[in-house]
Copies of this chain bind each other. A is one copy, B any other.
Amino acid sequence: MSQDPLVVFTPSGKRGRFPAGTPVLTAARQLGVDLDSVCGGRGICSKCQVTPAYGDFSKHGVTVRDDALSEWNKVEQRYDEKRGLKQGRRLGCQAQIMGDVVIDVPQESQVHRQVVRKAATERVIAMDAATRLHFVTVAEPDMHEPSGDFERLQKALAEQWGVEGTTADLTLLAKLQGVLRKGGWQVTVAVFQDHTATAPKIVEIWPGLHEGGLYGLAIDLGSTTIAAHLTDLDNGAVVASSGLMNPQIRFGEDLMSRVSYAMMNPGGDAEMTRAVREALNDLITAIAQEAEIDPALILEVVFVCNPVMHHLLLGLDPVELGQAPFALTTSQSLSLPASELDLSAMNARARAYMLPCIAGHVGADAAAVALSEEPGKSEDLVLVVDVGTNAEILLGDTSRVLACSSPTGPAFEGAQISSGQRAAPGAIEKIEINPETKEPRFRVIGCDLWSDDPGFEAAVGKGGITGICGSGIIEAVAEMRIAGILDPGGLIGSAEQVGTPRCEADGRTHAYLIHDGSADGGPRITVTQGDIRAIQLAKSALYAGARLLMDEMGVDKVDRVVLAGAFGAHISPKHAMVLGMIPDAPLDKVTSAGNAAGTGARIALCNRAARAEIEDVVGKITKVETAIEPRFQEHFVAANAIPHATDTFPELASIVTLPKVSFNTSGEREGRRRRRKS
């Protein structure tokens, strides 16, 4: 008895029998195999390419003969001539099943293809963008059955793609009739349907088959810098990345000074809103130019940012965030037209998504880190620290996740440091101090040589050493502590106490000279006692926040630490631990996640289910408010010592022995300064 041919799809393993002559795409659809198609099987979009396999497949119990698929037809030949079909590939909508066959669906033909985030962590993103393209044939108008062009387009989308109840705004309707007629009643539409209950919306329409692609932006809107990744919504590829300074800096370096600006100047919040939106438009224009795409092809944007930036971007006055009880206007995620944010540089009907905020001090950026690093899916207890002007801290495992933010201030970014500067060529980023001679050697950004390597001066050039960046100052302070230049209380010893002329008198305190460029007209780069105090304040705040979460969790140690933030990538785990920035942990359990907030934004951009996921996760996170927790002050004071006044660091001790020194001869009390919030 003859049976219908058997078709087996790989990698899914889905299989079924179909009458001879069934197109591969039809079989795939009926079996629920993830095989892409924009044109709906008309042989013009080439998205449904498959690779048939021939021969014996005992694993599948199938023998595939050479004639298992129909011969190449004219459509495939024409496509191959015009654009070239890869060796062994067929168009799934044209090739018909004639005998038993094994069909492989390559990654790029899958709708829900997976994209590797980056080599470092091998994190994959499954594609499931909210905006999708559909090619449709629309019925022509009929006077005897009058209906609007839009109603016939709706019907076509429902019948040909199962997309029911689409909507469109007036600007789309205004171009509808022209495009339908230009395309001869065949058009491609971009349909936006996210994870919310909102009806699918037609956001763009092109005559015929649109082959120009579709893009989205993942934007990490920081207090200091704005970083954007232009992403192909079809395959998740980042086609361009760009960034610029946040122009709000002119209203205040840190968040609280911007809140003050809004408080003191009527209309100041609107001024800052305008500034950041203008900058975003500039950024969008620039990134589209860089990628050589029409900015009108950018149909989505996802934002992550802290609560103050969140409010200022959305046009909400941030003053309530500057004082207890730190009430957000809204904490939930937002899905809205990008035009409401005046983002006119992208498509006029583009959509914007803002991740939810966790609390008044713990923003959408922290939510994005949670989405990227998934502490709630970790079997061991992980501490995730996103280091910036504010540090966002997450602690958790599969049982629960806690979050807080801690006001570290800008010291970790090189600001408020005497020789500090932003990470840019000429900035010292790595430093080692010889414990015997107390002599430093260092590297600067933009040069691979160490300062004691031959040719360093030539390579760097005159005046080429300009300051110390954030990671440089952390290393410098930690190395000073290891070399016995700094005591546990944070005092720099005198030249006599330390035994090097590099410890210079600086008023009533001392400073350590790293580099003297004054002979060449360059700067003298020192670490002053004031710099040490600034770093101590910052690291105490960070550590105290982490400790508070550990108290709440009822633990004294964590299994691993993830350093996130653009800056986190450059911090050496050993130095961070010598400084007591983070709790003691095995060094190989301290890793960097790079810009985890930016990664979270990209995940939310590429996968709408991730939006639902993070909204759910954020709802379950336990928020800890550092500003009202009395223990925060206790932890903060105890963390002032380097590495710590009371907590032991056994893992650190196993690899570094810190010298027992004390330079406190004068009863100096400066180190006991408290910083208070609000």
Contact = CB atoms under 8 A, between A and B. Distances in A.
One complex includes copies of this chain to the number of: 2
A289 interface: no
A330 B146 contact: no
Contacts of A340: 169-170
Interface residues of A, number: 46
A371 B220 CA distance: 52
A141 B325 contact: yes
B328 A623 contact: no
A330 B151 contact: yes
A236 interface: no
A458 interface: no
Most buried by B among A142, A174, A330: A330
Contact of A143 (B146, B325, B331): B325
B173 A331 contact: no
A628 interface: yes
A499 to B, nearest CB: 50
Contact of A324 (B143, B178, B316): B143
Given A197-B199, A315-B170, A340-B170, A360 B143 contact: yes
Given A142-B325, A320-B177, A325-B141, A331 B170 contact: no
A73 interface: no
A141 B327 contact: yes
Contact of A148 (B148, B169, B327): B327
A19 to B, nearest CB: 39
Contacts of A176: 329-330
A341 to B, nearest CB: 8
Interface string A629-673: 000000000000000000000000000000000000000000000
Contact of A173 (B178, B330, B357): B330
A149 B178 CA distance: 45
A174 B328 contact: no
A233 B357 CA distance: 37
Interface in A496-552: none
A428 interface: no
Interface string A304-340: 0000000000111100100011111111100010001
Interface of A: 140-144, 146-151, 169-171, 173-174, 176-178, 197, 199, 314-317, 320, 324-332, 336, 340-341, 357-360, 623, 625, 627-628
16 contacts: A143-B324, A143-B628, A146-B331, A146-B359, A146-B360, A147-B328, A149-B320, A169-B336, A170-B314, A170-B315, A170-B316, A173-B329, A174-B316, A174-B329, A177-B327, A177-B329
